[in-house]
């Protein structure tokens, strides 16, 4: 009997071409999962993620679901997946979900974290997971600018330019800006009902420009209103971003 499995996955995105399966590469997280499960099941299995992550972006708690008919128990399937997946992709949790559960459509919100490294010297052990800034941004200016993004807004100016008619309105519930106890890192934590393509990275890039004094926090309002991508800041590198949690 087909069961609907829900999995929570962690991955180091460094060497992958993002979450989503693509025609020209097998090197995606979704691709790795589908190849493994299809081989185990003997028929093609589709894995549905809560959303895409860009090439090089990491996940601590991505959620996905797939339908499969297997005699393995949940514990056995969990172990088998972890054993055969590469060591930079881990299944943290696996359980049978209700028939209606869909990782994308059922999602109520997401939490992303962007890690900025501002210490002296090079972050040898964190180098693949942070964006190193050569100057230290003003944390109060970042917080002030971030305030303009809280609530429901049209984030068209902060997403990859697509000529499509889908809504670009999203609600951001919080953006926490916190410096680590040793002062070497500034972490931006975004929680919202959903995020557009590249949105967290463009928001981060723009906030960093505010923090470094290249922009004024008040400008955020007019950028939002303009809906023009070229009014917003540069996109922050993929490697500093991590999908922390998908909420249901």
Can you read off the two tokens belonging to residue 40? 């185990």
The residue from 17, 54, 140, 187 that is catalytic is 54
Q: Could you tell me the smallest distance in angstroms from the CB atom of residue 140 to a copy of itself?
A: 28
> Contact between 121 and a copy of itself (CB under 8 A)?
yes
Task: By CB under 8 A, tell whether 12 contacts a copy of itself.
Answer: yes
Query: Is 87 noted as a catalytic residue in this protein?
Result: no
Please tell me the count of residues contacting a copy of itself according to CB under 8 A: 19
Beta strands in 78-227 (DSSP E): 89-96, 109-117, 131-132, 151-154, 169-179, 185-192
Applying CB under 8 A, which part among 29-37, 119-127, 163-171, 186-194 lies near a copy of itself?
A: 119-127
Q: Does 244 bind a copy of itself (CB under 8 A)?
A: no
48 and 107 Cβ atoms separated by less than 8 Å: no
For residue 143, report the phi and psi dihedrals to the nearest 5 degrees.
-60, -45
How, if at all, do strands 131-132 and 109-117 pair?
Answer: parallel
Tell me whether residue 62 or residue 204 sits nearer to a copy of itself (CB atom): 62
**Between 28 and 168, whose beta carbon lies closer to a copy of itself?**
28
Does residue 11 contact residue 241 with C-beta atoms inside 8 Å?
no
Site string for a copy of itself, 51-90 (x = CB under 8 A): -------x-----------------------x--x-xxxx
Measured distance CA(181)–CA(192) in Å, rounded: 26
Q: Considering only residues 145-164, where is the footprint of a copy of itself by CB under 8 A? A: none
SS (H, E, C) 65-76: EEEECCCCCHHH
Radius of gyration of the chain (CA): 19
Residues with catalytic function: 54
Which residues of the chain form contacts with a copy of itself (CB under 8 A)? 10-12, 58, 82, 85, 87-92, 121-125, 127, 129
């Amino acid at each position: 009997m087909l069961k609907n499995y829900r999995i929570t996955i962690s991955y180091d995105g460094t060497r992958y071409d993002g979450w989503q399966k693509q025609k020209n590469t097998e090197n995606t997280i979704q691709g790795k999962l589908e190849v493994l499960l299809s081989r185990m099941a003997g028929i093609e299995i589709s894995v549905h993620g809560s959303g895409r992550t860009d090439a090089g972006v990491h996940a601590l708690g991505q959620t996905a679901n797939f339908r499969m008919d297997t005699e393995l128990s949940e514990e056995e399937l969990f172990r088998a997946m972890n054993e055969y997946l590469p060591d930079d992709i881990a299944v943290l949790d696996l359980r049978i979900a209700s028939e209606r559960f869909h990782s994308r459509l059922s999602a109520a919100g997401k939490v992303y974290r962007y890690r900025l490294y501002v210490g002296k010297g090079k972050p040898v052990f964190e180098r693949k997971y942070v964006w190193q800034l050569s100057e230290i941004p003003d944390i109060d200016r970042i917080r002030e600018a971030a305030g303009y993004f809280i609530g429901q807004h049209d984030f068209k100016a902060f997403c990859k330019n697509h000529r499509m008619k889908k809504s670009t309105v999203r609600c951001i519930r919080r953006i926490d800006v916190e410096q680590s106890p040793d002062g070497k890192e500034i972490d931006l934590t975004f929680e919202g009902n959903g995020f557009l393509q590249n949105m967290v990275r463009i928001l981060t890039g723009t906030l960093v420009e505010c923090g470094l004094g290249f922009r004024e926090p008040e400008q955020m309002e007019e950028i939002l209103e303009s809906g023009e991508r070229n009014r917003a800041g540069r996109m922050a590198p993929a490697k500093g971003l991590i999908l922390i949690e998908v909420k249901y």
